Structure formats: structure tokens, C-alpha cells
Amino acid sequence: MSLVSEANVENRYEFLEFDCTADPETISDVFKEFGVCVVRNIVPTTFVNFLSLASSCTLKALELRSRFFRYDGSGTENPLYNPFYWARLKEIEAVCDQYGLQVGDICANAINGSGIAKILYRYFGTTQIDIVKQLFITRRQVPGVVSNELPFHQDVTNYTNADFVNVWVPLTSCGKRSATMELIPVAIREQLAVTSRTDSHHPTVEVDAEEVYARFGAETSYRPLLEPGDVLLFNEHTIHRTHMPANADLERSSVEIRVCDHFNPTPY
Ligand SMILES: O=C(O)CCC(=O)C(=O)O
Ligand SMILES: [Fe+2]
């Protein structure tokens, strides 16, 4: 249960949100100071459309494969298949390569050719940046599938000794009738202790919400409303979780493109 009421979505964090025409150095400096920012209308529509297609085809293909391998040949489908809520770049590539689409290259070109790169250059202090292919994930959040919602965590807990920016690209509207992210806009370099709760769906990464709010204040919760074309940036230490609004009735999908300094590669 969230300790913050649904009413607490009024935007006290407008200063973290920029238009794509804003100065990339200013955006980068705010991002550094708070560990999170949003830039509106910066992801080219063609790239959003490409990612949406690649993501939905891959998740559908994985689901059909799972369904098929449980098919008993009697003509009725076995309902015991795995719905897929996320996929990695290698699975997306396996689906898209046959159509001549080199997903990794397309993403690298799209990032480098967009204003997002300029923010990242300043953040990392170099124009040599790389997509961390192993940590590239597409994900969907479906209302009611609570086990798929991520509790408060820092990505660095999963991906230790890695410095990166999570270039979080929404492929659907986020936060009104579907899930968005909840983030704590506080720059932090420390790794927080994980939960000791035994009923956690994600015990290896979860940080208790009570701990987070006790330390940073419940009012530090930022739940951006996002549309396709916007980008959310946060780093490996930023504390965040899935936020599913109480009245959510639509799916949300997104792509996590983790980017690092070419000269400070991650172990992944
Ligand atoms: O998409 C979500 O709900 C959670 C994603 C997340 O934790 C991440 O991108 O690091
Ligand atoms: Fe995360």
C-alpha cells in the first residue's frame, strides 16, 4: 500500500520537467542534482512507433511460443501459458532480425541523433556513450497483475558496479488510466538495504516504502504523467517503483534503454 494518497499527484516537481527546446546543459545539471528528469516531445515519433512494434511483436511472439509448447494437439488451446510482461534486447532482436531490422543499431542511431544524446554527453562528460545491450528491456504493466509491479528499488541493486542512465521511453500514455513510475528526486550514491519481508514479490531488490518515506518524506514522491514522445531519465541509484493508479484500466508499455560512458563500461 502506498503511503501517499492519490491526491498527492499535483505537480510540485514541475522544475524536473523540460521541453525539448530547453538547453541540454541546464537539463543535465538538474538531472544530476535530483537523479531524475523528464523531457517532453524529444523522442522522434518514428522511433516510438518502431519500439512499439518491436515490443508488441516480441511479447506476442514469446506468448504464442509458450502457448504452443503447451498445446496438447487436441485442437483446444491449453490455457496454462505464460503471459509475457517483459523482454530483453536479445529476444527483440531474435524477432526483428528476420525483417532486416537491427534493433541495437537503430536504437543507438535514434538516441545519438536526438536531443537526448546532448543531455547524456554533458551528464557523462563525454560524447562517447554506449547502449548497455544486456540491460535493454521492454516491459508492460497490466492493471491487476500486482506481481509484475516493481516495488521501491535502485537499479544498481540488480546490476551491481554499473553506472548508467536509464533512458525510459513510454510507448503509451502513463499515469492517468495506466501505470507510471514513482521516483524519489534525491541524488543518492548509497545503496539502500533491501527488505527483510518474506512476502515480497521482489525480495532481492525491494526497499521498504516505509523506510523510503521515513528517510526522504512522503511528499518526495514524483509520479510523472507521460505521453509517447516524452522521455524519463534516471540513474542507477535513483529510488523508484511502478505506480499503478487505483482506477487504472489500461495497459502501459515502455522501453528501458540503459546507456553508459564508453570509457566506464558496466560489467554487463
Ligand atoms: O516499468 C516499471 O514499472 C518499472 C521499471 C523499472 O524499474 C526500471 O525501468 O528500472
Ligand atoms: Fe528499476
Instruction: Tell me if 1 is assigned to some domain.
Output: no
Which residue blocks in the chain are alpha helix, DSSP H?
24-34, 45-68, 89-96, 103-113, 115-124, 155-158, 209-216
Question: What would the mean pLDDT of 124-145 be, rounded to a whole number?
Answer: 98
Instruction: Specify the residue with its C-alpha closest to ligand 1, atom 10.
Output: 155
Ligand 1 atom nearest the C-alpha of 168 is 9
Q: Provide the domain limits for residue 209.
A: 14-261
Query: Would you state the pLDDT for residue 42?
Result: 98
Instruction: List residues, by chain if needed, whose CB lies under 5 Å from ion ligand 2.
Output: 155
Residue nearest to atom 9 of ligand 1 (CA): 256
Model pLDDT, residue 72: 74
189 lies in some domain: yes
* 3 within domain boundaries: no
Distance 229 CA to ligand 2 centre (A): 20
Does 46 reside within a domain?
Answer: yes
Q: What is the DSSP letter of 219?
A: G
pLDDT in tens, 31-80: 999 999 999 999 999 999 999 999 999 999 999 888 888 777 777 777 77
Tell me the backbone φ, ψ of residue 16, rounded to 5 degrees: -90, -5
Mutate to test the pocket of ligand 1, among 256, 259, 268 (most ligand atoms within 8 A of CB): 256
CA of 174 to the centre of ligand 1 (A): 12
Q: What does the pLDDT read at residue 90?
A: 97
Q: 225 near 178, Cβ under 8 Å?
A: no
What's the CATH code of the domain at 18? 2.60.120.620
pLDDT at res. 78 = 72
Closest CA to 111 of 37, 13, 39: 39
8 in a structural domain: no
Q: For residue 59, tell me if it sits in a domain.
A: yes
Q: How far is the CA of 179 from the centre of ligand 2 (A)?
A: 14
Per residue in 232-266, pLDDT (tens digit) is 999 999 999 999 999 999 999 999 999 999 999 99
Task: Give start and end residues of each alpha helix (H) in 98-170.
Answer: 103-113, 115-124, 155-158
Whether 254 lines ligand 1, by a CB cut-off of 6 Å, is yes
Residue 7, in any domain of the structure: no
**pLDDT given for residue 247 in this prediction:** 96
Question: Cβ(150) to ligand 1 under 6 A?
Answer: yes
Q: Is 4 part of a structural domain of the chain? A: no
Domains identified in the chain, total number: 1
Give the integer Cα–Cα distance in Å for 23 and 115.
Answer: 10
